Chains A and B, each alone.
Chain A
């Protein structure tokens, strides 16, 4: 059950510490008369079985498969590191990687910067503000298939976007965004960003509500402008949340698949071929299982490296009031 928030991993330390402290205080930690030693294991058993079968086993399978050539029907053939060697000379792999990185860069303002501004806007005390919060969150609630259909009406040659852009004289003639090798990728970045913006906005909103309001009042008394308050109070105090959104953005951008599948199938001319889509198509269209696994492994390593880098960059910059 993949929800967006699942990808955040900020709260790991706090509850554990709390748990330990309590156990130190209790005379017989966590064990009481009548409770057998195996009771805790029985409770975790369903989760552990699911973990073993649907996470650990597939993960091992993926690593194994990346050393084989296999079409899903005949006997797998051991090929050593061939799949990885093939990656190096596969232009489409590099195109996919490049496009995924373009998503990463393109979605940064949409998911890390703009949602912060929206959250500041939605954090005011105004009648009806909750309705606006809900409206901004609406794209998150709907499926990517539905979102894809909805945006086709925006991107159509006779669609709203062309009407606005030609109306303001920005464009001389309408563009067929999803059929144009130059514009298809930016169009998908826009859709992906628009779809997830609500989640990121809510993360920031949750963060903003932890900032004591008297900080803002004091700043106002000192004559600080709205911009100064944003720059010198909000942003520094929201840094831990920026670390969270940054990690979420990386994970999301590097795995873009559904929007590509629904709207462009990687085209035109591979201009929207992302790593996620290429892996899927190698596995489920070409039945090139070993090669798909090898690519998956590379993506996996990339994501772990990015998460680590992000952790190092943002670590220690947590500001306390």
Chain B
């Protein structure tokens, strides 16, 4: 065997292996997709599995769309993402700026207080946080869903590191030019942190779009449900055809998957920043 042939054989083998593993990760979604477009006459479950819909139909997408108020759930999710993602970034950045660049009394206390939120497990906080939110009269409101999600140690942490890397000279130059702090924050710090902002945007989009437990606990009125919670309602509707449940699920994950595919080249960089420091 020539070395060249050996090289290509190795490489082909590598792709076979990579593809086989990829099937494990993508497979369940492919089955979901196939079920969503199968005509009524074709069995969803069979031995051997019959994956290709013949012919593909949109019946179930339509049915899912009309069984539950899909459009308003999607719109709710858009609202939650549109408000929470920027607000979370602004809150984190505002707090991170002095933590990174100023010296003031209580700086470490503030930092460790916020850091400590990472150790409060989510399931444990669910009940007491719900009680506080209802005491504030925010149960069953958009504010109740949104406000608790605006603070994260992760966001403050990541931005603090990024801001610490901005040279002091740049900030001082802006100050001598007569910039007040808010202007420096807006025109110097935020642009300098653009890659980090992108990461927070991506992770924020994904986690808000998929948020499920907290909205379920806060909201009684299903009119305010985000889409991830909305489809669980579809799953609960008795007599729902499995195909229409599949179609409903596909609609719910499509936006976030597309968003991720567009933004994915930033993800590994973000991970590197988040873990290594």
Contact = CB atoms under 8 A, between A and B. Distances in A.
A1 interface: yes
Given A58-B129, A158-B45, A210-B276, A1 B28 contact: no
Given A150-B29, A158-B45, A197-B25, 10 more contacts: A1-B208, A3-B152, A54-B133, A54-B148, A59-B128, A136-B25, A150-B31, A151-B28, A153-B242, A289-B127
A6 B18 CA distance: 29
B159 to A, nearest CB: 10
Contacts of B31: 150, 153-154, 160
Contact of A15 (B103, B160, B268): B160
11 contacts: A2-B207, A11-B275, A22-B164, A44-B95, A65-B127, A65-B128, A118-B21, A162-B47, A194-B25, A206-B271, A289-B127
Interface in B77-131: 84, 88, 90-92, 94-95, 97-104, 106-107, 110-111, 113-129, 131
B104 A30 contact: yes
B125 to A, nearest CB: 6
B181 A39 contact: yes
Nearest to A20: B103
A205 B275 CA distance: 11
A53 B207 CA distance: 21
A153 B261 contact: no
A44 B94 contact: yes
Interface of B: 11, 14-15, 17-18, 21-22, 24-29, 31-32, 35, 43-49, 84, 88, 90-92, 94-95, 97-104, 106-107, 110-111, 113-129, 131-133, 136, 147-157, 160-161, 164-165, 168, 172, 175, 180-181, 185, 203-204, 206-210, 212-213, 217, 228-229, 231-232, 235, 242, 245-246, 249, 252-253, 256-257, 260-261, 264-265, 267-268, 270-272, 274-277
A262 B98 contact: no
B98 A280 contact: no
B123 A280 contact: yes
